[in-house]
Amino acid sequence: TQFVVDDVSKIIKEAIEVSIGGDAYQHNKVSQWTSNVVESCLASLTKLQKPYKYI
C-alpha cells in the first residue's frame, strides 16, 4: 500500500490535459477548470483503491 508518485503524477497530468488542454488562459474559466481537475483527480485516485484519504 505504498504511495506511488509516478501513478499519481500521471493521473494529475491527464486530468489537466483533459480539463484544460491547449486552451488559452481565460480568467473567467479558472474556477471551472480547477473544479474539473480536482474532481477528475479524485475520481481516478479513488479507482486505485488505496487506503488513503484524499482531501
- Domain residue extents for the chain: 5-47
Alpha carbon of residue 42 to chain centroid: 6
pLDDT of residue 40: 97
Residue 1 has pLDDT above 90, yes or no: no
| pTM reported for the whole predicted model | 0.85
Pinpoint the alpha helices (H) of the chain. Answer: 5-19, 30-47
Phi and psi at residue 33, to the nearest 5°: -60, -45
- Residues 15-31 as b/e (b if ≥16 CB within 10 A, e otherwise) read beeebbeeeeeeeeeee
pLDDT of residue 54: 80
pLDDT of residue 9: 96
pLDDT of residue 2: 79
Q: CATH classification of 5-47, choosing from 3.40.50.620, 3.30.1140.40, 3.40.50.300, 3.20.20.105?
A: 3.30.1140.40
